[in-house]
Amino acid sequence: MSTIAEFKIPYSQFLDHKGEVVQPLPEFAQDSKILIPLYRAMVEKRTFDSKAIALQRTGRMGTYASSLGQEAVGVGIGAAMKADDVLVPSYREYGAQFWRGVKMREVLLYWSGDERSNNYECQKTDLPICVTIGAHAGHAVGVAYALKLRNKNQAAVCTIGDGATSKGDFYEAINAAGVWKLPLVYVVSNNKFAISIRYEQQTAAQTIAQKAIAAGFSGEQIDGNDVIAVRQAVDQALQKARRGDGPTLIEAMTYRLSDHTTADDASRYRTQEELSQHWVFEPISRLRKYLTELKVWGKNEEDALIKECAAKVQREVDEYLNTPPQDPSGMFDHLYETLPSAFEDQREELRKKGRVHA
């Protein structure tokens, strides 16, 4: 027997959970003017998150998927991407979506069950979230292929969950991305759960990063609760993509501190103790500690930020709650570019009937 191929999966982290620097920081992270916006974005997202849950609990919004504890992944991605890159998001990466111009009120409207929410006012190109887990991994291949055809030095980022990596869609996508060396970065948020299914029930692979080996390109694991590591890894992968050196799979290790959604009760399948243990590693406090130690952040800044975030979220909630309802006939307005005459009478019927209240 001889050895015909060998592989290594690297791991990286810059700021550990105590806020201590464990390896030399990348250049951007030496500039607190860059770090502070990352911190702010994470806090803002978390503020949004609790408000959204409150709206759901008080019957003013439908099922909501919180991303409590996973803030660094979304924010790190958002910060690393250029405006004209394309994001193909999963549903927990609000941090990335907000950074790229999606409005909080749009996300709220979405979870209230209103299609108009995906017609983002300030983000015209990114795909909306994909509810059928993993399917968008393939959509991202098309997006990246289009970018490659157009040769514009742009790249795509696709975010997905650990559970999603069990879908065939995902593997068909990464395999093809490898063949065509697409400008495409997959970021897997490994939050250890797919609803109640734990990582060990999901796959026997020691890491998700190594799944890239099946597709012939490189995979790496990072501390997904370290926003510096996320931003750095995504940035490097995007540069590689732009150079024409193909796709990268980044496994961001994080943890879902919330229930799966507001329709879920995680206490059925995990203990309070396990949950508490993971709070230690959450992404926000470590960065605060670090910034505080750098003396670029303090109680004043923190208090001001909390107020700002609360005010911003409240404005967005108000906008959301004041959104006028859609006429039911709207379900035909964007079914086709021009509604075929065969369906005109159905739209007409709905127009006449008006809204049915639940």
Partner 1 sequence: MPEINLVEAVNQALAYEMEHDPSVMALGEDIGVNGGVFRATLGLRERFGQDRVLDTPLSEVLIGAMSIGLSTMKIRPVAEIQFSGFLYSNLDNIINHASRMRNRTQGRLSCPMVIRSPSGGGIHAPEHHSESPEAMFAHVPGIRVVIPSSPLRAYGLLLAAIRDPDPVIFLEPTRLYRLFKQEVPDNGKAELLDVCLTIREGTDVTLVSWGAMMNEVQIAAETLSTEGIEAEVIDVATIKPLDMETILKSVAKTGRCVIVHEAPRCAGFGAEIAANLAEHGLLTLFAPVCRVTGYDAVMPLAKLEKSYIPSVEKIIKAVRKTVQFA
Ligand X SMILES: Cc1ncc(C[n+]2csc(CCOP(=O)(O)OP(=O)(O)O)c2C)c(N)n1
Enzyme catalytic residues: 256, 260, 269
Q: Which is nearer to a copy of itself, 67 or 165 (CB)?
A: 165
Say whether residue 319 binds partner 1 (CB under 8 A).
no
- Asked if 162 interacts with Mg ion (CB under 5 A), we say yes
- Quick check: helix, strand or coil at residue 48? helix
Question: Contacting Mg ion (CB under 5 A), which of 161, 183, 219, 283?
Answer: 161
Whether the CB-CB separation of 38 and 227 falls below 8 Å is answered with: yes
Cβ proximity to ligand X, 196 vs 239, nearer residue:
196
- Output the CA torsion sign for 254, 32, 82, 47: positive
User: Which of the ranges 173-181, 192-200, 295-303, 332-340 carries the binding residues for Mg ion, by CB under 5 A?
Assistant: 192-200
Give residues 205-264 in contact with a copy of itself (rule: CB under 8 A). 205-207, 209-211, 213-217, 221, 246
Residue sitting closest to ligand X (CB): 161
Residue numbers 82-121 binding Mg ion by CB under 5 A = none
Is 154 in contact with 86 (CB distance < 8 Å)? yes
Are 65 and 92 in contact by the 8 Å Cβ rule? The answer is: yes
User: What stretch of H or E contains 241?
Assistant: helix 227-242
Question: x/- contact string, 174-213, with a copy of itself (CB under 8 A)?
Answer: -xx-xx-x------------------xxxxxxxx-xxx-x
Taking CB under 6 A as the binding criterion, the range among 49-57, 188-196, 214-222, 262-270 that sits at the site for ligand X is 188-196
- Between CA 25 and CA 236 the distance in angstroms is 14
Burial of 86 (0-12, 13-18, 19+ CB in 10 A): buried
Handedness of CA 110, 116, 120, 124 (dihedral sign): positive
21 touches a copy of itself by CB under 8 A: no
Number of residues that bind ligand X (CB under 6 A): 15
What minimum distance in Å lies between the beta carbon of 3 and partner 1?
A: 26
The smaller minimum CB distance to a copy of itself, of residues 156 and 233, is found at: 233
* Binding of a copy of itself by 74 (CB under 8 A): no
Residue 135 in contact with a copy of itself, rule: CB under 8 A: no
The region of 64-72, 113-121, 144-152, 158-166 touching Mg ion under the rule CB under 5 A is: 158-166
Instruction: Build a one-symbol-per-residue string for 244-273: x at contacts with ligand X by CB under 6 A, - elsewhere.
Output: ------------x---x-------------
Among 108, 133, 241, 249, binds ligand X (CB under 6 A): 133
3-state secondary structure 161-181: ECHHHHCHHHHHHHHHHHHCC
Residue recorded with tokens 């990286």: 12
SS (H, E, C) 24-46: CCCHHHHCHHHHHHHHHHHHHHH
How many angstroms separate the CA atoms of 54 and 60, rounded?
Answer: 8
State yes or no: residue 132 binds a copy of itself (CB under 8 A): no
Residue whose CB is less far from a copy of itself, 68 or 164: 164
Bridge partners of residue 15, in order along the sequence: 21
Place of tokens 């003396």: 295
Q: In what order do the strands lie in the sheet with 156-161?
A: 86-88, 156-161, 184-190, 248-253, 218-223
| Residue whose C-alpha is closest to residue 138's, from 150, 111, 154, 156 | 156
Task: Lay out the site mask for partner 1 across 68-97 (x = CB under 8 A, - = otherwise).
Answer: ------------------x-x---------
Would you give the binding string for a copy of itself spanning residues 1-20, x where CB under 8 A is met? xxxxxxxxxxxx--------
Among 66, 67, 190, 202, binds partner 1 (CB under 8 A): 202
Residue 165 interacts with Mg ion (CB under 5 A): yes or no:
no
